[in-house]
């Protein structure tokens, strides 16, 4: 692991130099720029640029000098907030300026919320008393322990040009090859995300999949990352360094994953972050230790009423992955097996909302193949880029675009009176305590709970719906609590992403029906206004309770007035679901049916029909007039040929 660097995509690094007055800020900048000591420098220098070829990374640096006077504190704060890194100076011959680092400056940077690397620089090294016993490491260790934002401490002399270029090299390096994403200085270990990225790189380089990098694989890795092959003696040396410190880092097959991680950790600990970053960037990682957007993006554009689904190739790949990581072959991925599966991704994507409780799991938290594929379907629907990224993280070697398919537009589906999507998204709306969450839980086969806990945020569940005589479809139920409806009406694309909406009400509560009906009309009208009409169903929940007087008639009248199917009566408590999920899928599959029509929609439709009839009348008149004139002209031509003298006379009457 030797050789050249692979830099980030940065085109400039902005370094702000701060510190007490008289600590040598301006002299340090001038000496670095001129590569000689300048005896007379202004109190504050203008921005100074070090050219791209000044350091190996070929990235120019802009040095910003600052004043530490009270009247310039506002300008100082502005410059600090634009900084990529900060050089904080003290004077080696002024112990009070060293003390001010921890009593003022580092606290001030935190107060201003400056979250960039800090390089502490002791200037005027040539003026330190020769008898001064100060030891930089001894003095700075407790300060660096308290302020983890400090990446490097260095002493220099502008007068003697001692370690002046190194100051800004470290400042640039802290930005281009940052330590923070790679290494936890508290516990002196590589950070989890860095370990996961290196593990993925190891797996990609282990072509024979024997769990070790042999000499050929190790050399291929070296050439890919550093464009320089390793000599046989160097390979032996690398493995010996690892084996001396870590016996299980090397086995008879080659360098193990443990050894590979240890080797990279050594480079980082010794300040060779550029080596680790060269490896990461060669394999497509950005400064957040995630794959770059150009690698994970599908590059497929879609309209708001289109969705993304996994291709059959991607689904087959996932089935193979499931089988590979199901170590005990029980048809279920346990938590440990799932963690292992995603151990080459930045983190397990399903530990947080909206995926954490979205699918059916075993009592021990395991995932069946059905649940596994449902999680992927949900992630692809909600965040296609995240889905394609995680496919690549776990070993999908094809282009991201080949994993995703863009569905046909819903407006086209309505015209063709058929949707061929494999994954449908259904909005679940309704008043409080109507039974929305219990309906979602029943979709996953969860036990019925008598207690009521109002939903405070959106909720997703996903499962496969089997239909007699028809293909299986994946259905995503998206519950929006009543308090979250404002977003539904303010975001024009929110309705466009959904295939069907259901409105749940408590069949024993008259107010619940009234509120559900109002929501249905409001959503239908909003859909008509923005041109995103979709099928809607009314669901009468809690059918095990007695209906309020005239409840059934009133609910049926609501549906009749809007032109949709009669309410679907269900009882989650008694597990009498009346094929409700099949009905939802059927409604989504036939997007031209069950579209509610409000008074606004009817008026809009009548106006459109009136305009169309007017256009037909006008166009018909134009055709008639053109036809009449054409026929008259043809007749005139015939007459003119037979009776030329009549045609001459006719010019007085018909001057064509």
Q: Are 426 and 581 in contact (CB under 8 A)?
A: no
Which tokens sit at 383?
Answer: 């965040």
CA distances from 34 to 50, 127, 161 (A): 10, 21, 11
Alpha-carbon distance of 24 to 123, in angstroms, equals: 6
Q: Are 123 and 23 in contact (CB under 8 A)?
A: yes
pLDDT of residue 282: 95
pLDDT of residue 6: 52
User: What are the φ and ψ backbone dihedral angles of 356, each rounded to 5 degrees?
Assistant: -55, -45
608: Cβ contacts below 8 Å, ≥ 6 apart: none
Neighbours of 64 (CB within 10 A): 22
Alpha-carbon distance of 518 to 185, in angstroms, equals: 58
Q: Are 153 and 136 in contact (CB under 8 A)?
A: yes
pTM as predicted: 0.83
Alpha-carbon distance of 248 to 256, in angstroms, equals: 7
pLDDT of residue 402: 85
Q: Are 202 and 256 in contact (CB under 8 A)?
A: no
Alpha-carbon distance of 168 to 164, in angstroms, equals: 8
Which tokens sit at 542?
Answer: 């809690």
With tokens 């464009």, the residue in question is 227
Alpha-carbon distance of 249 to 260, in angstroms, equals: 7
Alpha-carbon distance of 429 to 196, in angstroms, equals: 40
Residues of the chain predicted below pLDDT 70: 1-8, 131, 133-134, 298-299, 604-656
By residue count, the chain amounts to: 656
Alpha-carbon distance of 517 to 293, in angstroms, equals: 44
Q: Are 499 and 532 in contact (CB under 8 A)?
A: no
User: What are the φ and ψ backbone dihedral angles of 428, each rounded to 5 degrees?
Assistant: -115, 110
Q: Is 558 exposed, middle or buried (0-12, 13-18, 19+ CB in 10 A)?
A: buried
Alpha-carbon distance of 31 to 405, in angstroms, equals: 58
Please measure the distance between the N-terminal and C-terminal CA atoms of the chain and give it in whole angstroms: 92
């Amino acid at each position: 692991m030797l050789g050249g660097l692979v830099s980030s995509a940065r085109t400039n690094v902005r370094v702000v130099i701060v510190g007490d007055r008289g600590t040598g800020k301006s002299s340090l900048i001038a000496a670095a720029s001129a590569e000689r000591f300048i005896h007379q420098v202004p109190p504050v220098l203008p921005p100074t640029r070090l050219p791209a070829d000044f350091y190996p990374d070929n990235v120019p640096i802009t040095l910003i000098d600052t004043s530490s006077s009270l009247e310039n504190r506002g300008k100082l704060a502005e410059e600090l907030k634009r900084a990529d890194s900060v050089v904080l100076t003290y004077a080696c011959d002024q112990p009070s300026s060293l003390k001010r680092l921890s009593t003022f400056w580092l606290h001030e940077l935190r107060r201003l919320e400056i979250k960039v690397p800090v390089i502490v620089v002791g200037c005027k090294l040539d003026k330190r008393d020769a008898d001064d016993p100060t030891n930089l490491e001894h003095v700075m260790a407790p300060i660096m322990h308290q302020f983890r934002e400090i990446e490097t401490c260095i002493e220099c002399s502008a007068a003697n040009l001692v370690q002046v270029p190194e100051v800004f090299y470290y400042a640039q390096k802290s930005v281009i090859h940052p330590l923070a994403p790679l290494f936890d200085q508290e516990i002196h270990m590589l950070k989890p995300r860095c370990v996961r990225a290196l593990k993925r790189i190891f797996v990609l380089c282990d072509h024979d999949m024997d769990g070790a990098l042999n000499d050929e694989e190790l050399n291929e890795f070296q050439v890919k990352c550093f464009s320089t092959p390793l000599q046989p003696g160097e390979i032996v040396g690398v493995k010996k360094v690892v084996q001396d410190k870590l016996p299980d880092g090397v086995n008879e097959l080659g360098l193990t994953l443990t050894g590979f991680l240890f080797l990279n950790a050594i480079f980082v600990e010794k300040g060779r972050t550029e080596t680790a970053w060269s490896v990461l960037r060669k394999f497509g990682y950005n400064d957040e230790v995630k794959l770059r957007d150009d690698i994970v993006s599908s590059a497929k554009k879609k309209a708001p009423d289109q969705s993304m689904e996994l291709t059959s190739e991607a689904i087959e790949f996932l089935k193979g992955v499931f089988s590979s990581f199901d170590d005990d072959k029980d048809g279920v991925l346990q938590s440990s097996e799932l963690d292992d599966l995603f151990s080459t991704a930045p983190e397990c994507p399903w530990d947080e909302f909206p995926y954490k409780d979205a699918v059916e799991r075993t009592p021990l938290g395991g995932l069946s193949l059905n649940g596994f594929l449902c999680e992927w379907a949900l992630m692809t629907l909600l965040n296609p880029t995240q889905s394609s990224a995680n496919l690549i993280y776990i070993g999908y070697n094809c282009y991201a675009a080949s994993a995703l398919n863009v569905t046909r537009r819903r407006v086209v589906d309505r015209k063709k009176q058929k949707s061929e999507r494999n994954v449908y998204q259904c909005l679940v709306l309704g008043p409080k305590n109507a039974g929305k969450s219990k309906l979602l839980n029943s979709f996953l086969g969860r036990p019925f709970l008598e207690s009521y806990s109002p939903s405070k945020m959106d909720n997703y569940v996903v499962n496969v719906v089997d239909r007699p005589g028809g293909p299986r479809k994946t259905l995503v139920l998206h519950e929006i609590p009543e308090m979250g409806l404002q977003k539904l009406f303010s975001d024009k694309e929110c309705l466009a992403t959904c295939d069907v909406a259901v409105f749940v009400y408590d069949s024993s509560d008259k107010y619940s029906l009234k509120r559900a009906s109002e929501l249905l009309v409001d959503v239908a009208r909003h859909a008509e206004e923005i041109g995103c009409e979709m099928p809607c169903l009314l669901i009468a929940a809690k059918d095990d309770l007695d209906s309020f007087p005239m409840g059934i008639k009133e609910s049926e009248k609501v549906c009749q007035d809007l032109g949709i199917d009669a309410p679907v009566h269900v009882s989650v408590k008694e597990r009498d679901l009346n094929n409700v999920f099949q009905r939802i899928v059927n409604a989504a599959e036939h997007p031209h049916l069950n579209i509610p029509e409000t008074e606004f929609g009817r008026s809009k439709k009548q106006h459109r029909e009136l305009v169309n009839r007017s256009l037909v009348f006008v166009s018909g008149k134009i055709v008639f007039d053109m036809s009449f004139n054409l026929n008259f002209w043809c007749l005139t031509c015939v007459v003119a040929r037979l009776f030329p003298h009549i045609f001459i006379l006719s010019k007085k009457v018909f001057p064509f």
